[in-house]
Structures are given as C-alpha cells and as structure tokens.
Structure 1
C-alpha cells in the first residue's frame, strides 16, 4: 500500500510521521511561521527539544535567503556614469544630487537614477508658413542644434523639454520673420534670421528653465508658397533686370566720372597755377615799382623819358604799322605794312613772288628815311637861298 493511501494506522513510509491526516490547517501553518520568524530574529523558541532543532534549521535557511536577497538588492544599487553623461538622483521622487562620471551606489527601489548625455548634439527641424512685415506669405524651414547644459533643469523643471523647444523655436521664428520684408527673407536675410532667432530662442529656453543650450540655428530653406510661385518668379526676373540695368549704368558712370574728375582736377590745377602767376607778377611789379620810385627820385627826367620809351615800345611793338620821323622836317611818314602784307598775300603769284620779311621791311624803311632826309635837305637849302 502506498504511504499516502487512505487507511487507519501509521504508515511506515509516511513522511509526516503520523497517521491518517486531513487537510492542513491554515491558522496552524501561520502560527508555525510566526514561531520560526521569532526564533530567527531572537524571539522566544517554543516546543520540545526535537521541535526546537527543526525551528533553528528553518530559521537559518530563512536567514540565508534574506542575506541573499540583501546582497542582490545591494548589488542592484551599483551603476556606472559614463564620461559624456551626468546622472540625476531622486530619492522617493525628490531631487537628491547630481552624479558625475564614475562608479556610484544608491539604494535601489529607494533612489531613482536618470542619466542624460550632455555632450551629444541634438537637432530638431521646424517648418513654418507665416506673414512678413510687408504682408506677404513665406515658408521657412529651419534646423536647431542644441545640447543639454543643465541636467537638473532638463529633467525636473520642464515636463517635455523638446516640446518646449519646438514651441519656443516657432515663436522666435515668427517674431523674427514678422519684422522683415519678403525680399530680405528670401535673399540675403537668412544669416540675419538665423542669428536673431538663435539669440531669441536661447532667451526663451533660459526663461523656461529647460536646461538647453542652443548651439546653432540654420535656415535651410525660405521660399514663397507654391500657390504664388509663378508670380514670384516674375518678380525675381524683374529684379534681375533691374540689377543688370544698374550694373550697366554703374559701368557707364565708372567710365565718365573719372574723366570728368580728371578735367575738373586739371582746371583746378590751371587755376591754381594762374593764381600763383598773377600773385608772383603782382609782387614783382610791386617790387619793380619800389625800385623805380627810388630811381625816379634820384633822376626824374631820365626816368620819365625811359618810362615813355618803354611804354611806346610796348605799344608799338605789337602792331604792324611803322611811323618814320625825320629830324628837321615836319612830315611824318606812315607805312601801312599790314595792308601791304594782305595785298601781297592776295595778289596772284605769277612771275616773281614778293615776300615781305623783316629784312625787306628794314630796307624799305631805310630807303624811305634816306629819301625823306634828302627832301628835307633840299627844302632847307631853298629856304636859305631865298633869304
């Protein structure tokens, strides 16, 4: 018969050492467990000597189990923080400390450790359609690169830092683009948009306490909406024509303006030279007049005669007329050499040509003078004989 078959009497193979037994009593089992735990932790041990040995054995086993559980629990508290990470330690949900790189231990199930990579450069892209200052619609796509600068603020201050960053970026982009014209947004204003957006976005994230530091803001694309793309292309073409005409005008100006400036500079130099000449001549005349005055005071008659001769030489030297005066005679001969030269130039040059040079004029003058002297001598002899 098997040891667990029903029947009366004690069975030799019964491990419970008893006879026919019914289902175990739950209260009795709890009471025995309490007794064993009490013996394990220094409580009072009950029962006989044989029963005390079984209770001690069971208590030792529970102690080993508890020690193993404690060791496992303690080992679970060790963790490693990498060089590029920082860890936020929460004790029962409250901030305790910030763990630096290295090996650390915190009581598990009591402390919560949140590790955050602080050197990784994160990026986010945004696309917005908005109005410009001149009430035109533009579509701008930007990308923001950022790193975690304050781990505590990043983990605890804001529930979703990335969402806050996205909203702040949209607000900053709308504010910057809303203060610019469409032409500036679509052409050379991208660098300005990126710079102003970065400054404003950093101010927003710092005010929110997100613990995020903005590294770079890039304007990847700026264009008008597809509905007005054709009209915008026409505007671009007209702007290119405008720039071309401006360049042509500037090229023409570059060729004309330097020449005009050169002529103006030459006129200025000539005027300066004329001024210096007049000043020098006036100063020379003043000095000459001073010296002449001194000589005039010494010999007035001689000086006056000399001045007269110089004046006549200056006047008559610029004309083509020759006047001959003869001593002892009352006739003054006038030779219109200018008229003679004009007739000689207009007369036909057939036969011997007539040339009036300086030597010829001098010969004519001498001949006329000699003839006048002879006539004057004849008249004087006649007057003497008549007397």
Structure 2
C-alpha cells in the first residue's frame, strides 16, 4: 500500500511538468553546444616554424603564415601544418638515439648496416654513413604530389648514393673523393625530386663516416699504412730530385760558361797573334834585315831570363866565387 501511494505522487509530479519546457531546454543545450563547437572550430594558430595548408572540402584554398587565423567552422575548412621553416633530415646507416648535453648519441644496428654497406667500382665493400638535410619549399606540393614523401626521399637518396659509390674506386671513396661524392649526390637527388615536383629543396648531403667493414679493418689499416709509407718515400725522392737536379743544372751552366770563356780567350789570343804576325810580315817586307835582327833580339830577351845563371869560364880557369847575390830579386833566375 505504501508503494502505491508513492507511485501516485510521482505520477502527479510528472503530470505537472510542462513537456514543451523540457523540449526547449534540450534545444537550447544542443544549440549552445553547436555554437561552442562552431567557435572552437572557427580559428586556428600556425606555429612559427611552418605554414598551414587550408582546405575546403578537400580543395586547397590558402596557405597561411604563422599566427592566428580564422576559417569556416564545423569542419568545412581544415588546416594541415607543414614545417617549412624547419630543417628536416634523413639518416642512413645510423640513427640519432638521444641528445646528452652538447653531444648526440648514435646507434647502429644490422638493419642500419644494410643501408650503409655498398659495393665500389673495384668490387670493394665500404660502410658509408650519410645524412640528407632538406626543407619544404611548397607545402601544397609536399602534401599532395607524392604519397609517403619521407620514404620516397629515403629511397631516392639511397639509390643515388649507391650508384655514385659504385662508379668510384674504394680507395677514392675512403679518402679523396668524399666531398665530391656528397656534392654529386646532392645534385642528383635534387634533380629527381624536381622531376617528381615534390616541393622539397635539398640543403646538404654529408658523409658522416666512411670505413671498411669491421671484418677487413685490420687488413685495410695495413694497406693504408703501406700507402702512407709509399707516399713518404715518393715525397723524399721528389725532395732529393728537386735538390740535385737544380744543382746539376747550375754546375752544367757553370761548366758551359767556363768553356765559353776559355773559347773566347783562345779565339781572341789567336786573333791577336794573327794580327801581330801580319804586322811583323808587313814590316819584314819593308826592311827584312832590321826586322830579322829585332825578332832575334826579342826572342833572346824572352828566352835567356828563363835559363837561370850562365857562367862562362876560360879553359883551365878556376870556378868563379860568388861575391854578390845580384840576382836575388829576379824570380825567374832564382828558379
């Protein structure tokens, strides 16, 4: 009996409620939610490191710069953020695991090794680790031209790097051609990306580390040491060559100059003797007796001083006693 009394009172209370008032309350609540939803979906903020691609029913209508912007609510307009001001990168042969202070921690697994092991033109295996850095130039093309943009960039970069390494000698890849390989890879990757019209601009391609595989590192180090010793010996030989060849050339020039001087002296002497002989001949034709006597006396004047002391002793006479050393100042006679 008690339950039936309470039931009747509840029914009376329900009867007193105005059904239309409840409907209006529900309508206002729904309308408020719609207005709140419209307000919250009518604006958006673009972060400083990129741009937003605004689409209306899937069609691109605008590209907005960083800042606060408004749009049509209720999902009519949608925006998609693209980091156009950020430098993006793809790592090959390793991955950046964490950042500890000012230095990064890298890790390398067998999966990463499959990316970095390459065959060179002389059939040697090298382990090449490199990084491709790029930026988004056109957000619309970046989002809609190619599906799976990051995977496409990775596949293109790996294919280009393998082709370039395969066209070079292993020793060149490990030593002198690292910069050249990176520049060529950048140009070819950019050319392929432009052909796909992806809206991506390659910044740099850097070879982080190029080494022989771990299993052949000891042998490679021995070969490298032998190459260094070879270069050292070649440098020393070139040094000696650069020292001795100029000295020999200088000595040869000195000998040639001495010979030319001797030749000039002999020629000039011969020409002088010839002129003297012609002059004497001319005088001899004019006065033969006088010229003959003069030549005789001049010859005696040249010959006698070189004979030294001459003693004329009569037969049976005694040897002369030298009282005075009259010829002490004559170097010719003292010989």
TM-score, L = length of structure 1: 0.60
* 9, 12, 15: which one aligns with 1:14: 12
Partner of 1:150: 138
Partner of 1:96: 61
Instruction: Judge which range, 91-100 or 145-154, deviates more.
Output: 91-100
User: 8 Å contact 1:89–1:112 — kept in the other structure?
Assistant: yes
Structure 1: gaps (5+ residues)? 19-50, 286-305, 315-321, 327-331, 361-387
Partner of 1:38: none
Which structure carries more relative contact order (alpha carbon 8 Å, separation 6+)? Answer: 2
Measured in 1, the distance between the counterparts of 2:294 and 2:6 equals: 191
Measured in 2, the distance between the counterparts of 1:87 and 1:224 equals: 45
Structural mapping, 1:187-206, within 5 Å: 187-206=175-194
Q: State the 1:130 CA deviation.
A: 1.4
Structural mapping, 1:57-206, within 5 Å: 57-77=21-41, 78-106=43-71, 107-127=73-93, 128-206=116-194
Structure 2: gaps (5+ residues)? 94-115, 284-290, 310-320
Q: State the 1:261 CA deviation.
A: 4.4
Measured in 1, the distance between the counterparts of 2:206 and 2:174 equals: 14
Instruction: Judge which range, 259-268 or 217-226, deviates more.
Output: 259-268
Measured in 2, the distance between the counterparts of 1:13 and 1:333 equals: 180
Partner of 2:293: 324
Q: State the 1:176 CA deviation.
A: 1.6
Name the SS for the 1:120 alignment partner.
coil
Measured in 2, the distance between the counterparts of 1:156 and 1:244 equals: 58
Structural mapping, 1:234-313, within 5 Å: 234-263=222-251, 310-312=279-281
User: 8 Å contact 2:50–2:86 — kept in the other structure?
Assistant: no
Name the SS for the 1:246 alignment partner.
helix
- Structure having the higher Rg: 1
User: 8 Å contact 1:76–1:108 — kept in the other structure?
Assistant: no
Alignment length (residue pairs): 284
Measured in 2, the distance between the counterparts of 1:359 and 1:238 equals: 71
Measured in 1, the distance between the counterparts of 2:10 and 2:277 equals: 181
Measured in 1, the distance between the counterparts of 2:197 and 2:9 equals: 78
TM-score, L = length of structure 2: 0.68
Measured in 2, the distance between the counterparts of 1:207 and 1:16 equals: 73
Q: State the 1:96 CA deviation.
A: 3.3
Measured in 2, the distance between the counterparts of 1:177 and 1:5 equals: 95
Q: State the 1:334 CA deviation.
A: 9.6
User: 8 Å contact 1:126–1:142 — kept in the other structure?
Assistant: yes
* 195, 198, 212: which one aligns with 2:200: 212
User: 8 Å contact 1:344–1:355 — kept in the other structure?
Assistant: no
User: 8 Å contact 1:121–1:146 — kept in the other structure?
Assistant: yes
User: 8 Å contact 1:341–1:356 — kept in the other structure?
Assistant: no
User: 8 Å contact 1:84–1:119 — kept in the other structure?
Assistant: yes
User: 8 Å contact 2:129–2:207 — kept in the other structure?
Assistant: yes
Measured in 2, the distance between the counterparts of 1:85 and 1:260 equals: 71
Measured in 1, the distance between the counterparts of 2:144 and 2:118 equals: 33
- The C-alpha deviation readout for 1:137-166, integer Å capped at 9, x for no partner, is 211110122222221122222222111111
Partner of 1:301: none
Measured in 2, the distance between the counterparts of 1:102 and 1:213 equals: 24
Partner of 1:369: none
Q: CA RMSD in A?
A: 4.4
